[in-house]
């Protein structure tokens, strides 16, 4: 019995599920993301907690996934972990500027971002599921 853990498959599947359901939630409740970002912008505590949580999750994803040039999904997941860490640092250091970008974007493109998130989540979910043996 093979007991190896396919970190890339699990990372893609879990990130895909979270993106899929976050997008579904945003489509069900228009304006919810804008409300969340406004709350983070107003609260230094939420800024710190969100930044640290994203840094932690991004670091785990980045460090756990190998860089295998022959495995496109592994490279994408590792890059996503790195981008999550960069975004976390932006939240920690420049939250006022960073949140204004998202508030402007979400005010007129809410359904578009939510739909792209659902699609992205579904693609990651399927790609991750295909990696399981």
Q: Count Cα atoms within 13 angstroms, Cβ side, for 95.
A: 19
CA distances from 47 to 22, 60, 82 (A): 19, 20, 19
**Which phi and psi angles does 5 have, rounded to 5°?**
-100, 125
Q: What CA–CA distance (Å, rounded) separates 28 from 114? A: 10
Pull the structure tokens for residue 73: 């999904």
- pTM of the complete model: 0.87
Distance of CA 26 to the CA centre of its chain: 14
pLDDT per residue of the chain (133 residues) written in tens, 0 to 9: 566 889 999 999 999 999 999 999 999 999 899 899 899 999 999 999 999 999 999 999 999 999 999 999 999 999 999 999 999 999 999 998 988 888 888 777 788 899 999 999 999 999 999 998 6
């Amino acid at each position: 019995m093979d007991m190896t853990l396919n970190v890339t498959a699990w990372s893609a599947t879990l990130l895909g599920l979270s993106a899929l359901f976050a997008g579904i939630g945003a489509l069900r409740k228009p304006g919810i993301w804008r409300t969340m970002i406004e709350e983070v912008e107003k609260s230094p505590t939420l800024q710190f907690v969100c930044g640290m949580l994203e840094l932690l999750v991004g670091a785990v994803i980045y460090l756990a996934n190998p860089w295998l040039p022959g495995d496109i999904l592994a490279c994408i997941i590792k890059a996503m972990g790195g981008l999550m860490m960069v975004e976390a640092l932006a939240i920690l250091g420049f939250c006022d500027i960073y949140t204004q970008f998202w508030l402007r974007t979400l005010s007129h493109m809410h359904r578009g971002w939510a739909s792209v998130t659902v699609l992205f989540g579904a693609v990651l979910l399927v790609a991750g599921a295909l990696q399981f043996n």
